[in-house]
Amino acid sequence: MLLRLSVVLLLLPFRSYLQGQVCCKEPEADSKVILRHVVFAQPMELPVADQHRLVMTLRKVNLRLSRGESPNDLASVFDEYVRQAYQNRGYFLAEPRCDALPIADNWSNSRGNLLVDLFVNVKEGTQYRVQGILWRGQTIFSEEELTHAFPIVPGSLFDRSKITGGLDAVRNLYRARGYINFTLVPITKIDEVDRTIQLDIEVDEGKAYHWGGLHVDGMSDSDNRVLLNAWERLRGQPFTGRTTELAKFFDKYFRSIGHRHNLADYVKTYINESKGTVDVQLKLRSDPSLVRDFTKTRFSPKKKPR
């Protein structure tokens, strides 16, 4: 306790001195904020390794200050990074307050950067553990399958980053089945007596979407047939919301796409809500030279050596 008080008393005069030395000049337009020192107003409850990571993260935050703004106008951004660091260690209700104070002798250096010291004060609150996860509304996956995607177990520290990672993992499970409009609504229920948090997750699965038809404009009939026959292997497969499957398909047949041309310039996707399909249109007629490039690639049969 004595150590905590001594640290606070030592920091307060230094902070007051800086506040008295703040220059009244406005910063240059769009000045980049550079942290000189990160000072904590009391011993932190975070492990030393987490403290170092937090300081490094704060130094990497890319903030710019416009004319007429004060450095403290951006303090809420630093607050969120500090809050996340504490929530990753179970302090779910931590209340950080960051103050960014410009250095009086170096309000803005020759490169237009604003040098500041960041003072961090945190009310940690209670450290919570995970009570459990309860799912509602799911039909495609079982509750065990969804819970298995989370890297947490009952009794472990409530870790915001692991909760976020688990939610992303569940989204990927659904997207792999074509549920591109799938949503999750996590609700936290705090038990102050046991110091635990129950996570209730509402699931809205939506509709599953699959690849539909391919419509080609600007190719010869023979090349068109080759492409449409190949498309049948992709038709009916789940649409994940990403374009990687489509890019792989066209890259197999058109070497020009992805090198000298942009796939998005010639390929358009259309979602059919009623059928739950995603149709694709390949339009080449607007660029005759591109068609010639394509017809010289894998559509043309290789000549037999004499």
3-state secondary structure string, 25-66? CCCCCCEEEEEEEEEECCCCCCCHHHHHHHHHHHHHCCCEEC
Do the domains 129-204 and 210-295 sit in the same CATH topology, yes or no? yes
Please tell me the distance from the alpha carbon of residue 203 to that of residue 223, in angstroms, as a whole number: 45
Q: Where do the structural domains in the chain lie, given as residue ranges?
A: 18-123, 129-204, 210-295
Nearest in space to 188 (alpha carbons), one of 160, 166, 169, 153 = 160
The CATH class that applies to domain 18-123 reads alpha beta
In order, the DSSP letters of 230-241 are HHTTTTTSBP-S
What CATH fold (topology level) applies to the domain 210-295? Ubiquitin-like (UB roll) (3.10.20)
The CATH class that applies to domain 129-204 reads alpha beta
Contacts by residues 136-143 (CB-CB < 8 Å, ≥ 24 positions apart): 136/200, 136/201, 136/202, 136/203, 137/202, 137/203, 137/204, 137/205, 138/203, 138/205, 139/205, 140/174, 140/177, 140/179, 140/205, 141/173, 141/174
SS3 label, residue 179: coil
Helices marked H in the chain: 2-21, 48-60, 75-87, 143-148, 160-176, 221-231, 244-253, 288-295
Tens of each residue's pLDDT in the chain, 306 residues:
333 333 333 344 444 444 444 444 555 557 888 888 899 887 788 888 998 999 999 999 888 877 777 777 788 899 999 999 999 999 999 999 999 888 765 555 546 788 888 999 999 999 999 999 999 999 999 999 999 999 999 999 999 999 999 999 999 999 999 999 999 999 999 999 999 999 999 999 999 999 999 998 877 788 788 889 989 999 999 999 887 888 888 877 765 544 556 666 788 899 999 999 999 998 876 555 555 555 445 554 444 555
